[in-house]
Every structure is written in C-alpha cells, then in structure tokens.
Structure 1
Amino acid sequence: MTLADFLAWESQQDTRHEFFRGEVFAMTGGSARHNRVILNLAAHLGSHLDGTPCQVFAESMKVQLADEAVLYPDVMVTCGKAQAGDEQTITDPKLIIEVLSPSTKGYDKRNKFILYRSLPTLREYALIDPASREVEVFTLTADGWLLSDQSRAADLALASIDCRMPMEAVFKGVEVAPSEGKGAVA
C-alpha cells in the first residue's frame, strides 16, 4: 500500500491505524489510566501554550514521516502555526509524548523513537508510564539525544516548550498501580 492509498483508506475507517513502509497496523484502545494521563498532559500543555504560535494535539492527530510512516503519538506539540485548520497530518512536531501501555511499551521506547528522530523539527521525546510512574525525557542537544530520568522529580520539565508541569498534575485522577502496593488514587 502506498502512503496516498493508506491515507485515503484510513480516513474511511472507524478505528485508527499506523502505517510503516507499506504495512498497516491496527491501534488498540488504551486503559482509563492511559487516557487520563493523556488528557491531563493535553490540558496543561494547551493552557501553557495559549497565546503562542504552538498547538497541542492528542491521540487522533497523525504525524507523517516523509513517505515512510504515519504514526499516532499520544500527545504532540507543533509550533508551525497558531490556528488549527483541516490538516489530517502533522509533519513538524517539536515535542512528542508517548504514554506507555504494557502492549506498546517496547515499540514506543525503541522503534517509534527511531522513526521520530528522523523528523528535523523534533526537539524532545517523552515516555510516561502511568502504571509505574516512570518518566523519561529525551532532549536533543548539540551532542545528540540526552536522557533525563524524571521519575522522582517534582515536575515534568519539557525544555523544548519551556514548560514545567507538577507530576501530581500529570497523574491527577490516576490510581497507583496495584504492584505499587498502595491502590489509592493520586
């Protein structure tokens, strides 16, 4: 399948699919914990970016990597224009955040990051595991991609958009995973 064929086909589908080098992959639904973290991030980042030329998108907006791939990041920020139009794909994300789930964790950490790094505009890639509350942020520097483990930090720091978000806001309304032994709502 060509990229053009995929985009035409996928626009007619009830469910989301990703595309990589002619192959199509169905996207599965996430848990309530997964969705809540995405909404927390999108709401906070949207407020932070209000009045700037940047916009935040969550889950249903595609990012296109040349003619090679079309992916659905959980959250992304683009600074190309201040007003959303009829675009169906974004080609210039500055920040991408993936909220990890058990079924996609390895894919998001390896394969997707390799693909995303081909985007010349990408400056930061964050991985957030809502169950374990592990938070890793990769920031592009003059020396390459720098990993910052922010799991124990008070704030999620996103240098690419000059944003700090309290971790309690990232995980607001999200149960602590049973393996953590607490079972309480954060």
Structure 2
Amino acid sequence: MLTKTSRRKALLPPQKVSIEEYFRAEGKSIYKHEYHDGIIKKMAGGTFNHDNLAGKVVTFINLFLEENNLLYLVNGSDTKIRIEQYNKFVYPDAVVICEKPEFYQNRKDTISNPLVVVEVLSDSTKEYYRTLKYEYYRTIPSFKEYVLVHQDRKHVSVYTKQPDATWIVRDYDGDDATAILYAIQQCPLSLKRLYRGLEIANP
C-alpha cells in the first residue's frame, strides 16, 4: 500500500537532469536510455524478430555499399542521434551517414548528421515512431529518409524527402516486394530476404 509520502512523490514531475549527467549515467548503465529534454527514459528490450531484422538491414545495406563502392557509413543501435531542436538524444535501430560522421561534442557514440534512419516497429512503439519520433527526426537538416520495418508482418514503409522539402511515403508488402532506399543510390531491400527464416503471422 502506498503511503502519503510515496503518493506525493508519485505525483511530482520527474526530476530533470543535465546532458552531462545523462552521459555519465549512460556510460555506466547496462541498459540503454534516451534523453528527452532533461528526462531520461529507459528503452525496452528487443524481441528475437526485432534484433534479427535490424541486423539484416545493416548487413544488406553494407553489402550494397561495398558492391557499388559507395562512401556511406552504416551503424546499428548503439549509436545515439542528437536532435538539437527538441534537445533529445535517441537510439535508432540503424543509421546511415553520408561519407563522414559529425560527432556531438566529439563524442564517438553520438552523431548529429543522419542521412537515413531505420526503426523496427513493435506494438508498443509503432505509433510513436510513425508520429512524434518522425517529427523529431525531420528537424535534422541532413535527414533524408526514414525506414520503418514491421516485425509482425512483411511490410516496410519508406519515407523519402523530396527537393521541395515534402515527403513521399512508399509501402512495400510481401515476399515479392523490394523496398527502395532512394537516399542511398536506390539501395534495394528485398522483403523475401529480410524476413527469411522468421515466423511471421499472416495479416
């Protein structure tokens, strides 16, 4: 049973911490946390499908880049992204950088110039990724493409920024589809290869 003191504490707004405090705590933690304008939020652990899909995306993009001798860098979920306008540090599932990373205050674990961001959706995160997190990413000048990979069905959505700063969304479904990443020289992501070996329920 909650005491009066514990109830009062539960009603208080969370205490804000500085960016420096966040980085110190994150460096010691075995779990990942995002920073949202002074509030630290623990990230949920990924499922088997989530981790498998995120790893395959990184692998397939890297293979395409090597085969075509393209100067892009691909990192997985340990790289944080700085979102200056909203004072946030977030973890993507994968990120592509054009040629050279721009590190936040020379921190080698945090970049500020993502070109492409990949997120693998779950039931608990899909609405956030489609709406608020997409809005946050769009404030980054270098950001040109957003890739959302479903883990409960064979479906990939690609949001691509146009020259007039509008965005086009292309949806790809099923084994016969191949998602195209236009920001990376039309890099193809075959859904058949992406979802191979995973148990995916029929929609």
TM-score, normalising length from structure 1?
0.88
Distance in 2 (alpha carbons) for counterparts of 1:172 and 1:40: 10
2:77 is aligned with 1:59? yes
Asked if structure 2 preserves the Cα contact closer than 8 Å seen for 1:76 and 1:97, the reply is: yes
What SS does the aligned partner of 1:169 have? helix
Structure-1 residue corresponding to 2:87: 68
The runs of 5 or more residues in structure 1 that have no matched partner are 182-186
CA contact (8 A) 2:78 2:109 kept: no
Q: CA RMSD in A?
A: 2.0
1:145 aligns with 2:163: no
The total of aligned residue pairs comes to: 178
Q: Which runs of 4+ in 1 moved over 4 A?
A: none
Which residue of structure 1 lines up, in the alignment, with residue 32 of structure 2?
A: 16
The structural deviation recorded for 1:47 is: 1.6
Q: Deviations over 1:116-158 (max 9, x none)?
A: 0011001000111121222111100034011111225621110
Is the Cα–Cα contact under 8 Å of residues 79 and 92 in structure 2 kept in the other structure?
A: yes
Q: Give the match for residue 91 of structure 1.
A: 112
Considering Cα pairs closer than 8 Å and 6+ residues apart, tell me whether 1 or 2 has the greater RCO.
Answer: 1
User: Equivalent of 1:159, from 159, 170, 182?
Assistant: 182
Q: In structure 1, what is the Cα distance between the partners aligned to 2:94 and 2:51?
A: 11
**Aligned equivalent of 1:184:** none
Q: How does 1:167-178 map to 2 (within 5 A)?
A: 167-177=191-201
* 1:121 aligned to which of 142, 150, 153: 142
Match of 2:96 among 77, 91, 111: 77
